Structure 1
Amino acid sequence: MQHDDIAARIEAFDHANGGGVGSYKDKGAYHLYLLDTEAPIARLKPTGNGDEVWLGYWSHRRKWEDVDDMGGVVLPLDDALEFIANESIFWTWT
């Protein structure tokens, strides 16, 4: 999957769900943040396997961390965006 495709799909998901989230690419990962406050929401790092991405959340330690204790969550991009939208751990510091 092309990286431009990932950015376009993130933007389309945000637009379809009311907007308010921005994204940028840094060090091979896509960072999602709240537009109003610039608070970090999630980090999506492509795994190189189809459209799967590894998910990270912004923790109280002020760094990206795995969603679980077993090495993180890897999901197809659309499922990952839906997961982020519905899981409170991503929205704690926003």
Structure 2
Amino acid sequence: MSTDVSTAETDETPKPKASDKYKVESVEKTEPPEGLPAGNWHRYIIGQGGSKIEGLKPGTLKAVTEHAQSVASDLNARAAGGNSTYAARKQK
């Protein structure tokens, strides 16, 4: 009797697939949020499957794109069980 590995349950936590990783979907120039000073604002969208994260940040297109890529990288590290820049530090 054989067991189909693709349907067998395991105790291991599955690692995210490459297609499941967060990635920057777009960065575009936008108006500043209400109540904030005018300037060079950009809107970015980071996506993973059906999930979307939208952010607004002032700065150049290059700087905001680098920021969005850094956030996506951090989210992927957290999803994979690694350390995150924003994760709480371990208690001593």
TM interval, shorter chain, is 0.3 to 0.5
Q: Which has the higher helix share?
A: 1
The structure with the larger Rg is 2
TM-score by length of 1: 0.34
Structure 2 length normalisation: TM-score? 0.34
